[in-house]
A = this chain, B = another copy of it.
Amino acid sequence: MREFFHPDLDGIKVEQILYALSDPIRLTIVKRLYKSGEQSCAVFEDLGKKSNLSHHYRTLRECGLIHIRRDGRHSYMTLRQEEMNQRFSGLLLSIVKAK
């Protein structure tokens, strides 16, 4: 099975990150990943329909915020927290801590 494409963060613009996180569901996913580390995509099914969630995962992956790996029939997500912090210092932390 084909692996997911993950962009190099050097070419990512901050506007893409801000757009991705301006959606409440995507922000919730990122906050949960920040708190819990790697998660199966299945744990986010309380947040919406599978097709909508797939779109959100893709948006988060394509802007460089998350990494998705396949394992058999399941997919697992992690935040690309360290790389994000190197690229946009302090940004992710200030967003996930915002109330």
Contact = CB atoms under 8 A, between A and B. Distances in A.
17 contacts: A14-B99, A15-B21, A15-B24, A15-B27, A18-B95, A19-B19, A19-B22, A22-B22, A88-B94, A88-B98, A89-B97, A90-B93, A90-B94, A91-B91, A91-B94, A91-B95, A94-B94
Nearest to A15: B22
Copies in the complex: 2
A58 B22 CA distance: 18
A13 B63 CA distance: 22
A98 B94 contact: no
Size class of the contact patch on chain A: 20 to 34
Interface of A: 13-16, 18-19, 21-24, 27, 88-91, 93-95, 97-99
